[in-house]
């Protein structure tokens, strides 16, 4: 089970590096909660996430993500995955290099794992 969830996380960040918004959005539940690192605000709902990715996809280039040091806890239809996220990208012409402990909460929806919470703390 933990290998499956780790694989979902890795694939999601591969899609993020390609800025494949449709594939990224397919990983999230309708009621997802997440932190917008640019506005430093909690955001709620998949429609807000879609707006975020649509806007940011035009201002980000050279995205490279690496997730490592996974720990997974599964309890029935819910799971928590923590890992270290390292990312580099260019945002509006400025290079960004970050390392962030990250938590993702997953729920099963119609048999598939969907992200219901995404929280990173850039160091």
Tell me the pLDDT tens digit for each residue of 59-101. Answer: 888 999 999 999 999 999 999 999 999 999 998 889 999 999 9
Distances (CA, A) of 29 to 7, 85, 104, 105: 17, 21, 12, 10
Q: What is the pLDDT of residue 1?
A: 62
Comparing CA positions, the residue from 12, 22, 3 lying closest to residue 120 is 12
Bin 106: left if φ > 0, else alpha if -120 < ψ < 50, else beta.
beta
Tell me the domains of the chain and their CATH numbers: 2-120 (3.10.450.50)
User: pTM here?
Assistant: 0.90
What's the pLDDT band for 32 if we cut at 50, 70, 90? very high
pLDDT, mean of residues 27-49: 90
In sequence order, what E strands does 53-111 have?
60-75, 78-91, 94-109
If you average pLDDT over residues 13-25, what whole number do you get? Answer: 92
The CA-atom distances, in angstroms, between 28 and each of 33, 88, 89, 99, 123 are 9, 23, 22, 22, 25
């Amino acid at each position: 089970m933990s290998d499956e969830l780790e694989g979902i996380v890795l694939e999601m960040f591969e899609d993020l590096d390609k800025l494949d918004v449709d594939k990224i959005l397919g990983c999230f539940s309708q009621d997802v909660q997440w932190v917008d690192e640019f506005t430093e605000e909690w955001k709620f709902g998949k429609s807000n996430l879609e707006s975020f990715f649509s806007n940011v996809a035009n201002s980000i280039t050279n995205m490279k993500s690496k997730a490592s040091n996974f720990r997974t806890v599964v309890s029935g239809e819910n799971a928590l995955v923590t890992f270290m996220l390292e990312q580099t990208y260019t945002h509006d012409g400025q290079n960004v290099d970050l390392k962030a402990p990250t938590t993702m909460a997953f729920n099963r929806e119609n048999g598939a794992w969907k992200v219901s919470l995404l929280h990173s703390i850039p160091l």
